[in-house]
A and B are shown apart, each in its own frame.
Chain A
């Protein structure tokens, strides 16, 4: 072990240079920069400019008692619709999610829809 200590500082340096390392030599994805220009098969990028319903209508309080409003953001299966589909902005999505969970607890909204036979 003692004589290997002298050789060790040199050996790893040599092996590091020799071994091929994928350091991120892959080109970064250009991202959805060309989305509005024209979707080339990547339909998911900016398919349509959705705006947050709460921001446009200036609804401040998302009430758990308002099951009709909350029901618009719940799928048929009873699951909460993700933000990228409903177009809701992040702070409102958080409050909406909290209100939906409160409504579920008081049986105003279902946890899961009736399962198929």
Chain B
């Protein structure tokens, strides 16, 4: 059962770039060894934290999109807890949400297609666009 998760973690800011890369590749290897697949890695850069975490005021945000069973996530989280540079992490399950969003989009598309053959060609063009992951559209709209 392949579930999709988003794992976001914060790395302490006073680390060199190659150390950050090392952390990222370590986590990547841990995910694959635990039986998951890393879909994408997004380095969101240094951001000011909303509150002090281990006496740090900013941190480097890194986002992993992972596909795999729940046991893989448990294992990765267990290792992240002991990884010294990682100061905070959160895992969010996104496959149910994406399923729901896909359904909503499908209903909207079918409604538009039912409004005439002239709109059918426009709807076909839109269907290609809505194939993009919906998670990317929310930050684009913000």
Q: Which residues of A does B touch, CB under 8 Å? A: 57, 59-66, 68-69, 102, 104-111
Contact = CB atoms under 8 A, between A and B. Distances in A.
B5 to A, nearest CB: 13
Nearest to B6: A65
B139 A60 contact: no
Secondary structure call for the B interface: strand
A63 B138 contact: yes
Given A69-B142, A104-B50, A61 B135 contact: yes
A50 B28 CA distance: 46
A66 B141 CA distance: 10
Interface in B101-142: 101, 104-105, 134-135, 137-139, 141-142
Interface residues of B, number: 24
B53 A63 contact: no
Interface of B: 8, 10, 47, 49-51, 53, 59, 63, 88-90, 92, 97, 101, 104-105, 134-135, 137-139, 141-142
A107 B57 CA distance: 10
> 3 smallest A-B Cβ distances: which pairs?
A110-B50, A107-B49, A63-B138
A96 to B, nearest CB: 12
B82 to A, nearest CB: 19
Contacts of B63: 65
A106 B105 CA distance: 29
A108 B135 contact: no
Contact of A63 (B10, B59, B105, B139): B139
